[in-house]
Structure 1
Amino acid sequence: MNAAHSKSAFVYGQVRRALQSGRYVPGQRIDPAKLADEFKTSPTPVRFALYRLVGEGLVADHARNGLHVPLLTEVALRDLYGWMEGLLLWACDLASAQPSSPHAAWPFAAGDNDLVNLTWELFDAIASDADHWSLHHAVKRANDQLTPVRRANLGLIPHAKEELCELVRLWQSRDIPALRVALSNYHARRKQVVPRIVAMLGERSEHLH
């Protein structure tokens, strides 16, 4: 790997982590020149990194208006929730066809109380259980696209922590039928508040301009 590719990979990793951590919020513009300054590099590796993120759906290219964190419409957000739900239910179907073996332990980072990180990890683990590469890859991508939304609307969904704990319990015990129902209920609750989520994200985005 040459120096330019190495720098581009570094910037990609840093910006991706920033998107997941909530440093950038949906609708916010990402300035390549500021990133080049921040990482002490030329604009070229930064643009390579950002367009890799565009390809993954984590950054949107608005042409003359520049690069932004995607600000989803109600239709797009409902579709994304529905896509994630469908993928996870498919993963459950595939997992149920495999020999049953309860998960012995919580597989996530010890001491991590971040509901957004834990949700990502749980859904990734459910997909991993299906042992289907394309499905797992699709869940990772949808997980990444939903992470800024999940982080921005923390507190909007009541009892989210208890809900996640129940999903983990069902997954660990391999109670697949109950897990399917719980996953459908999880996504139904979020689809119900899509208008509130989109309106709230739109208001936050307006304050950035």
Structure 2
Amino acid sequence: MRANRSKSALLYRQLRRALQSGRYLPGQRIDPGTLAEEFSISPTPVRFALYRLVGEGLIDDHARDGLHVPLLTEVALRDLYDWMERLLLMACEVEAPPEVGAGEALPYLPGGPRGDPVKGTWQLFDAIARAPGFRPLHHAVKQANDRLAPVRRAKRGLIDQPDEELARLGSHWQARDMAALRAGLRAYHARRRQLVPRIVALLVDRRDQQP
């Protein structure tokens, strides 16, 4: 039993990273048998890992149709963007100690490295939520971050100049200019809400093209 739990925990972490990286697209079916074969483990730890992800909202259980990466409707995606915005604005209202996050190696900060804007967005939003030291808030942002990661990965071509947008947010965060950061976060999420119909149509099209 302990060995199964260890294998399940390892697979859970690998699948979570795979979902964030875009290996599985929204709407894609995830087959437990294929995972068991791929990772050379028995079906039991695979089921444990998958249903842990189901509990976190990162995978949907469609009963007879199996397990799928969530494919959000327009209403659900707008709600998720609204929720993330509200959580981040709440984090910005809490005065964090000045030493929190000091020297943090985040991408897209002034003078820092550039790279993957999807990963950079996850890291920046996580840092903003972690700074107040309020665990329930940080946990809620992590869950929303994880749910949005595959969407961000799939819709990259729809957003103009994401690097510059993220760099501006990072600059406001590094300077602890919370008024500018709040305004930037509102603008960031407003842009994405306007694109919701196109994002959902793109995700549906990609799902339908899957073999």
User: Normalising to structure 1: TM-score of the pair?
Assistant: 0.94
Aligned pairs for 1:148-167 (under 5 A) are 148-167=150-169
Paired residues of 1:102 and 1:174 also in contact (CA < 8 A):
no
Paired residues of 1:29 and 1:67 also in contact (CA < 8 A):
yes
* Correspondence for 1:107 among 101, 105, 108: 105
1: distance between equivalents of 2:36 and 2:100? 47
Moved over 6 A (4+): none
Q: % of aligned pairs identical? A: 62
Paired residues of 1:102 and 1:172 also in contact (CA < 8 A):
no
2: distance between equivalents of 1:23 and 1:99? 37
* Count of aligned residue pairs for this structure pair: 207
1: distance between equivalents of 2:50 and 2:99? 41
Report SS of the residue matched to 2:156: coil
1: distance between equivalents of 2:9 and 2:114? 26
1: distance between equivalents of 2:20 and 2:55? 16
Report SS of the residue matched to 2:176: coil
Paired residues of 1:103 and 1:174 also in contact (CA < 8 A):
no
Partner of residue 85, structure 1: 85
1:100 to partner: Cα distance: 4.8
2: distance between equivalents of 1:202 and 1:128? 33
2: distance between equivalents of 1:175 and 1:43? 50
Partner of residue 34, structure 2: 34
Partner of residue 45, structure 2: 45
Paired residues of 2:100 and 2:131 also in contact (CA < 8 A):
no
Amino acid at match of 1:192: Q
Query: Is there any run of 5+ residues in structure 1 with no aligned partner, and where?
Result: none
2: distance between equivalents of 1:111 and 1:170? 16
Amino acid at match of 2:193: K
Partner of residue 148, structure 2: 146
Query: Is there any run of 5+ residues in structure 2 with no aligned partner, and where?
Result: none
1: distance between equivalents of 2:100 and 2:24? 38
Amino acid at match of 1:14: Q
